[in-house]
Amino acid sequence: MIRAIYPGTFDPITNGHVDIMQRASGLFEQTFFAVADNTSKKALFSVEERAALAKDALAHISNVEVVTFHSLITDLAKKYEAKAIIRGLRAVSDFDYEFQMAGMNRQILPGIETVFLTPEDNLSCVSSSLVREIASYHGDVSKFVHAKVADALKTKFPA
């Protein structure tokens, strides 16, 4: 079975993340949507909240499992016997960092491949940070995130 991991903070999961996961699920037999418990970033949602929101947003994809982690992604890849790490690219500006990360991951875990996927054109401008900012000003984020994510953002930023 060929497995892949799509790691990230996902604070919160956006329709762009869902689009990347849908694409990855068509390429791999099993995919893990890996929500990072990154203590160096101040997240709006807890790792448990982010994982629950991801489960709702990804429920329609049968070969996806949402997991959380607090380790190197290469350690998680070993744990789940993943052959690839999925990374989404929205713009050329994303590539430099992602290219360095892919090289570093191969140094740590020889044989791991990084697969870069791009979202639909209409989702290339969507980022978690922009969604959070729009929501903080009580803007409508419903076209950028799953309905349950939009509701969760409203509870974080009450009117």
Catalytic residue among 23, 87, 128, 132: 128
Characterise 148 by phi-psi region: left (phi > 0), alpha (psi -120 to 50), beta (else): alpha
Does the annotation count 128 as an active-site position?
yes
Catalytic residue among 78, 83, 90, 148: 90
Does the annotation count 17 as an active-site position?
yes
Does the annotation count 41 as an active-site position?
yes
Tokens of 16: 């762009």
DSSP notation for 32-81: EEEEE--TTS--SS-HHHHHHHHHHHTTT-TTEEEEEE-S-HHHHHHHTT
Does the annotation count 124 as an active-site position?
no
Catalytic residue among 17, 23, 50, 132: 17
- Which residues does the annotation mark as catalytic? 17, 41, 90, 128
